[in-house]
Amino acid sequence: MKKLLIAGAALALITGCNMKTNPLLTESSAPFGAPQFDKIENEHYLPAFETAIAEAKAEIDAIIANEEEPTFENTIEAMEYAGETFGNVASIFYNLMEANTNDQMQEIAEQLSPMLTEYEMYVSLNPVLFEKVKTVYEKRNELGLAQDQMKLLEDNYKGFVRGGANLSDEDKELYSKWSEELSLTTLQFSKNVLAATNAYVLNITDEADLAGLPDFVRTMAAETAAEKGLEGWAFTLQAPSYSPFLKYSENRELRRQIWTAYNTRAIGGEFDNTEIVKKIVDLRIKIANILGYETYADYALEERMAKNKQTVTEFIMNLLEPSLPFAKKDVADVFAYAKKNGFEGKRLESWDFSYWSEKYQQAEYSLSAEELKPYFQLESCIDAVFGLATRLYGISFTELDNVPVYHEDVKVYEVKDADGSHLALFYADFFPRASKRGGAWMTEFRGQSIKDGVEKRPFISIVCNFTKPTADAPSLITHDELTTFLHEFGHALHGIFAQGRYGSLTGTNVSRDFVELPSQIMENWAFEPEYLNSFAKHYQTGEPIPADLIEKIVAAKNYLAGYAQVRQLHYGLLDMSWHTLTAVPEEGTVEFESKSLAPYAVMPAVEGTAFSGSFSHIFSGGYSAGYYSYKWAEVLEADAFSLFKEKGIFNTEVAASFRENILSKGGAQDEAVIYRNFRGHDPQPEALMQKLGLTK
């Protein structure tokens, strides 16, 4: 049974769409069969979903009606290929919901939820279908199955059991009801976060209040104000606006205002998520309990590398406890520097830390983001990131102008292998807009698979929120944004290199705590002098980045590493605090978060603020009881990259092994085995602490 990772649902506002002309259902006339974004309108979605679901149900019904003895081919493989049209429609709609949404699409999604939940339950709770799967599963050792076939069979059987197939009829009804409620509630959570983010504007009309802000920040803010019909300068909660303001603004009160706005997004007010968080947690507990698990974390972790909540909790604490002294020292050092340089407060508040840590970094390393940006023009970085893939793997990227896109900012490239064969289409969407959620992510409009001997190559996409070009300058990204680019591109390579028969087992369809390895390992190149020297040139003069700046980048790599590590572990700890509950807490969302993190705090708490209300990764994304996986994967990548460091950062033999053993394998084999096949041993946690300089 294919995993239905669907957040929400479809519409009833729109009727009368001709199926023969619906671009979501007709064979694509675009190159490579790419999605026909130039033809898709909102009116096409509901009819396409209705048709695709009916088709998928008919395919499932045919499997059920087959009177032959259940076999791998007529049951498991047939289920894998059922619902292909549905998958295509859903991948387009839900990807655009994240990257280019509008009010009507959000209405469609809310109304789609019951349809999609009903379809998922139609499959997962069908007793006849489950009996067929069970029949094949019980004979699995007699069937002579290949490794990927055995994994597909095991995943299907477990999927049915974990999806409620063994429940009584009464409990199946409850499970279906709660699943639909959860789908709608997570959708509302996401909608509120986006609305709350877009609702806030810090409008400055007195130029004196811009003190400390670099020219690029002022220019961007002036353009934002003009776009919004405001005078002066406008700052938003989008990362390219919010982060530089906190980092550079000399106006402490305005820093406090924008920090508070960001950290109370969807906490109270019109777009309040505080009760929605508790409802999501409650529904997840109920679903876990009815399936036989004590907590939602027990349910979620069963299918991940960590396997159980005890392993995750120990993992977090084994990193958190030795990192805390380093984090507290980082904060103390920044505070001491601030006091020496005019700061008169009794303590550093959260809205002070970014500003003074930037000043301290400049003093310690003579390094600032503003000084580096001219050397990282986005176009040069695109060439450099593609060039790294060419150097490591021999692949090439060619920009196409004949493939439809969903927004004018999106670029499309054909990816070819070293032998010239087609590998994938790669979509890149770099700039923020009101219709796009914050952050950065990789996704796909179509994964790789093989059916009836015909291979479909993937359509891969990365979506970011980088600094936009201004009237005076091209897009100049920060070094942090370059690192983010490399991170998401690592996910993209995981999708681009996918190999296998079954789409549910290829590409990034791996355990949540393994999926970040291909992305996080790529970040390392952002700190390698040999790589930076190959492309970082001043956008105006063409002069190469000075050697001393590269030295500073490398020297500053572990600046505030303890603080950053503890901050990331806080997110993992908060996630596990919510998802190891056996009952919804009596205290409020803000109070629960504060209680969970207080023993490990390195900055003063700010009353009334909380991250939970906008923690999309765990409340509307795929990281519930899984945020720890970023650190888990950091351990993997630190150990893995040490082989590149040993053999050479552009070593093609190591790269070929990483491609063969990690990037192309997907989820057809246990990830611990996959990792050992590449590295020759299990991951060494000490590699991460050493890499970060967090050893005594």
- Catalytic residue list: 488
Structure tokens at 674: 């996959």
Joined together, the tokens standing for residue 630 give 């970023």
- Please choose, from the candidates 175, 167, 77, 79, the residue with its C-alpha nearest in 3D space to the C-alpha of residue 127: 167
Q: Which of 275, 360, 222, 330 is nearest to 562 (CA)?
A: 330
Counting beta carbons within 10 angstroms of the beta carbon of residue 209, is it exposed (0 to 12), middle (13 to 18) or buried (19 or more)? middle
- Which are the contacts of 435, defined by CB distance < 8 A and separation ≥ 6? 99, 100, 101, 102
Three-state SS at 14: coil
Measured over the CA atoms of residue 165, residue 169, residue 173 and residue 178, the dihedral's sign is negative
Strand 449-451 versus strand 396-400 pairing type:
unpaired
Alpha carbons within 13 angstroms on the beta-carbon side of residue 26 total: 15
**Measured between alpha carbons, how far is residue 616 from residues 450, 521, 621 in Å?**
34, 24, 6
With beta carbons less than 8 A apart as the criterion, state whether 552 and 344 touch. no
Q: Which two tokens stand for residue 634?
A: 């950091």
Helix (H, G, I), strand (E, B) or coil at 443: strand
CA separation for the pair 210, 222 (Å, rounded): 11
Q: In which residue are the tokens 């506002």 written?
A: 13
Are 274 and 591 in contact, with CB atoms under 8 Å apart?
Answer: no
> Of the candidates 644, 659, 636, 640, which has an alpha carbon nearest to the alpha carbon of residue 513?
636
SS3 (DSSP) at 396:
strand
Mapped to the 3 state alphabet, what secondary structure does 298-346 carry? Answer: HHHHCCCCCCCHHHHHHHHHHHHHHHHHHHHHHHHHHHHHHHHCCCCCC
- Report which of 61, 59, 117 is spatially closest to residue 84, judged by C-alpha positions: 59
CA-CA-CA-CA torsion for 689, 692, 694, 696, nearest 10 degrees?
Answer: 90
Cα–Cα distance between 478 and 482 in angstroms, integer? 6
